[in-house]
Amino acid sequence: MRSESGLVKNYQVKFEHMDIDRVRSCSEANAWKWFGGDDRTNAPDILPYDRNVGTGQTIMLEKDLVPSVFNVELGQGFNEGFGYYSTRTPYNKPVTLKLIIRDENSNVIKTTTAIVSADFTGGLIPFDLSKLALLLEANKKYYFFWYLVDGDSLGIYIASPGNTDKSGTGFCFNSGWSGESNISKNNSLDQLDTWYTHPWHFNIKLEGKE
């Protein structure tokens, strides 16, 4: 390559085909965090049908990965499927989850949604990332946040299974996150300032090619 000044530099470019299937999974749980809306009328400092609670996890990989599916686990602990706390009754309707992916500078790089069926009773919920043209680079932090769309007005909740182990290392032990927005504060879980680090590490499954 020749510059305008006449200086010549040679560059060697190496192309690698990313065709190795890779699955990273975190499934150990000993605690369950609130996820979704809240219909309680007697909770201290919380109005009914006002707040929405989301969950997040920091992702950092040892090798570059083109992700195809990101799974989050919900259920167990409080109740298996989405439902109302006050009456302990199930919701029994489809709901939508939103996933926000931010880079290490907290800038949004991708978003997508997943539909959860009416008969969901707990387990993994997949977000299809195959059409997002997303590359997760090795040794960089990415923040994955997910929440229940319209969770505040729906007033239904479920649990995010997590691991409270503070001594673990590796993929499953990067920082967990939690977020809370409120209709009364006119904010949203799309806003970065509604999120904060959480001491637990949440159950997820990441699939793709490296």
Task: Tell me, letter by letter, the H, E, C secondary structure of the chain.
Answer: CECCCCCECCCCCCCCCCCCEEEEEECCCCEEEEEECCCCCCCCCCCCCCEEEEEEEEECCCCCEEEEEEEEEECCCCCCCCEECCCCEECCCCEEEEEEEECCCCCEEEEEEEEECCCCCCEEEEEECCCCCCCECCCCCEEEEEEECCHHHHCCEEEEEEECCCCCCCHHHCCEEEEEEEHHHCCCCCCHHHEEEECCEECEEEEEEC
Q: Tell me the C-alpha distance between 150 and 97, whole Å.
A: 9
Model confidence over 164-179: pLDDT tens digits?
A: 999 999 999 999 999 9
CATH of domain 22-209: 2.60.120
Q: Which phi and psi (to 5°) does residue 88 adopt?
A: 55, 35
The number of residues in the chain equals: 210
Residues linked to residue 16 through DSSP beta bridges, in sequence order: none
pLDDT band at 25 (very low <50, low <70, confident <90, very high): very high
pLDDT band at 76 (very low <50, low <70, confident <90, very high): confident
Model confidence over 108-160: pLDDT tens digits?
A: 999 999 999 999 999 999 999 999 999 999 999 999 999 999 999 999 999 99
pTM: 0.90
Model confidence over 131-145: pLDDT tens digits?
A: 999 999 999 999 999
Confirm if 49 and 96 have CB atoms less than 8 A apart. no
